[in-house]
Structure 1
Amino acid sequence: MDTENHRAAVKHIIETYARFRPSHGNIRLDTVFDETHDRYALMQAGWDRGRRVRGNLIYITLQDGKVVVEYDGIEHGITDDLIRQGVEEKRL
């Protein structure tokens, strides 16, 4: 799988999770795609029970032909999602 396919797979997964809505609070999910530097993220921002919520849910970089999961805040993890999208396990 080449870099363009890795980008497409990562963006598809992040866009899929961005469609989910948190079960409580007023929290916005934002996708961040920097194809120039190959940095991809799903951010959360908002309020829940009077407290500020912000930060990464997913942060992935592409480097040296690999998909590097820098941060995975998804309950079941996204590695299987990446593999289902065609990213070879040895590229993770």
Structure 2
Amino acid sequence: MASVDSYRQLVQDLLEDYSKVDFNNPDLETELIFDTQRDRYQVVHVGWSNKRRVYGCVLHLDIKDGKIWIQHDGTEGGIALELVERGVPKHDIVLGFHSPFKRQFTEFAVS
């Protein structure tokens, strides 16, 4: 298991990369929300598109008990695979958006 500090930095860097996606819409903002005291990290879209309000969490990751918990993943490819590509072992990644029963059938941590 890597240190929580290294996971903190890795998660922040990864979410920062996601926040740089350009939607060519000046009325749509991507917000990074980092709570480093409680280890909660989010990417949220806020604004307007085609006269409609846009507000939604794209990614929500927590660090609990030395593991990275993916609470919400609204990406196409999946943030878990990107974490693995960046060196996080699968046993340190929990797919929190799956029920505890279903997690046992994935290749990632149960909790």
TM-score (norm 2): 0.78
Q: Which residue of 2 aligns with 1:89?
A: 90
Partner of 2:69 in structure 1? 68
Amino acid across the alignment from 2:7:
H
Instruction: Give aligned-pair identity as a percent.
Output: 28
Which of 1 and 2 has higher RCO (CA within 8 Å, sep 6+)?
1
Larger mean Cα displacement after TM superposition, 69-78 or 23-32: 23-32
Greater C-alpha radius of gyration: 2
Change (3 A) 1:66 1:57: same
Q: Which runs of 5+ in 1 are unaligned?
A: none
Could you say what the CA RMSD is over the residues aligned between the two structures, in angstroms? 1.3
Cα deviation, 1:22-75, whole Å, max 9, x if unaligned, reads 255731001111110000000110111110000210000000111000000111
| AA matched with 2:50 | R
Q: What is the rounded CA distance, in whole Å, between the counterparts of 1:84 and 1:9 in structure 2?
A: 11
The gaps in structure 2 that reach 5 residues or longer are 94-111
How do 1:1-92 and structure 2 match up within 5 A? 1-22=2-23, 26-92=27-93
Counterparts in 2 of 1:75 and 1:23: CA distance versus 1, 3 Å: farther
Q: Which amino acid aligns with 2:91?
A: K
Kept in 2, the 8 Å contact 1:9–1:87? The answer is no
Paired residue secondary structure (2:29)? strand
Normalised by the length of structure 1, the TM-score is 0.93
